[in-house]
A and B are shown apart, each in its own frame.
Chain A
Amino acid sequence: MKTLLRPLCAAAALTAMLAAPMAAQAHRQWMLPSMTVLSGTDPWVTVDAAVSNDLFVFEHVPMRLDGLVITGPDRAAVAPQNAATGKYRSTFDIPLTTPGTYRIASVGDGLMASYKLNGEQKRWRGAASELATAIPAEATDVRITHSQRRIETFATLGEPTTEALTPTGQGLELAPVTHPNDLFAGETAQFRLLLDGQPASGVEVTVIRGGGRYRDEPGEMKLTTAANGLLEISWDEPGMYWMEAEVRGGKSPIEGAERMAVYVGTLEVLPE
């Protein structure tokens, strides 16, 4: 499969448009869990979801919650509680009723089109089912992008488990080698990046530690997945980390569309 890597900012701009109609330029999408490693009998995790430049600061627009997919340790869907959307962020709670690992994701699948009509540049965004009627027959320079995005994080009550992390085989995903809720500063974690369930090699991955507003350097790591899709991340410091990868190209089920797959993950690294 031929994959093309494009500048991340362009991808971020497009996905930000998808996630939040008001976003005008490149912004980062993220979810921020209150805790990722939990003990006890009835703990809850509360999650903030937003689109912003600074990680993890609510300063731009909230993330829409219509694509939430929460998977419990038994792979059953978990319904979010107390979901709300404010000016800068959305929030929801998850009761961890079963021990194990929860996968908390916002999954999006949609189309973006640009075309010219009577010399005017037009844009359209919508679902595949609307495509046939969305673009006038006389439009020229039609360019369709099929966007698949996954923004996710993880939380574990008790021992980490992997059932919820079973790949869906759709778009870009992160498969664990190191468990995403077993990350510690001073150690190196390994993950496998998958595209449609297959190892995605040579993909650039950006990793940024949160709290950038308290330091001068952006603290950004640029990594590339190995031939088998393997991604190695060395954690120098504890903290909440944001990671993003994007793959452009490859076959889309939508005729004439270019596929763009985006993965965003929030991972917590604990001190030793």
Chain B
Amino acid sequence: MRRLASAAVLTGLMAGPAAAAELNLSVEIPRMSVAEYHNPYVAIWVEKPDQTAVKTLAVWYDIKLRNQEGETWLKDMRQWWRRAGRAMDLPADGVSGATKAPGRHQVRFVGGKAPLGTLPAGQYNLVVEAAREVGGREMVRIPFQWPPKAPAAGQAKGETELGAVSLSLKP
């Protein structure tokens, strides 16, 4: 009990003034009734308002296929591929991940820690792009300010390949 308490105190301290800001994201992959369904490839990245990519936070694709065959379709996330992907070495630790099934997926990125790292103060967009084999492609953007001075939230809604995408920022 004491141990737990002190641990809580410690983490409480760490979450204090010195704690890093957080970016929490919820990405909904819609359930579809189609004859042939494959989980979409999804890229999540941070861009400047002029669409220059700053950081790729996550890429969900077929990382387990033989001979890295899953990378063949990375270019179908064509904005991410153009802005960031084509210059990256993949798979990338902490960025590459398996595709996700339909449902809501929570991801958390912490300032100062990979893959978000240190982001200079300013205005940004969080971008989510999804491309599905024998399916479509969609991209949504949520603008945000970094670092957050107070808790903040942003929303976007896809119409085809993405459902609700919500972003919450913790100072």
Contact = CB atoms under 8 A, between A and B. Distances in A.
A216 B45 CA distance: 41
A40 B82 contact: no
A39 B91 CA distance: 12
Contacts of B79: 272
Interface size grouping (class) on chain B: 10 to 19
Contact of B72 (A39, A158, A184, A270): A39
Given A182-B82, A270-B78, A41 B67 contact: yes
B86 interface: yes
Given A158-B86, A182-B82, A42 B73 contact: no
B78 A38 contact: no
Given A158-B86, A159-B86, A159-B87, A37 B71 contact: no
Interface size grouping (class) on chain A: 10 to 19
Interface in B71-112: 71-75, 78-79, 81-82, 85-87
B111 to A, nearest CB: 28
A39 B68 contact: no
Nearest to B74: A39
B69 interface: yes
Interface string A118-139: 0000000000000000000000
Contacts of B71: 39-41
A271 interface: yes
B69 A40 contact: yes
A271 B78 CA distance: 9
Nearest to A40: B72
Interface of B: 67-69, 71-75, 78-79, 81-82, 85-87
Interface of A: 37-43, 158-160, 182, 184, 270-272
5 contacts: A37-B82, A39-B72, A39-B75, A41-B71, A159-B87
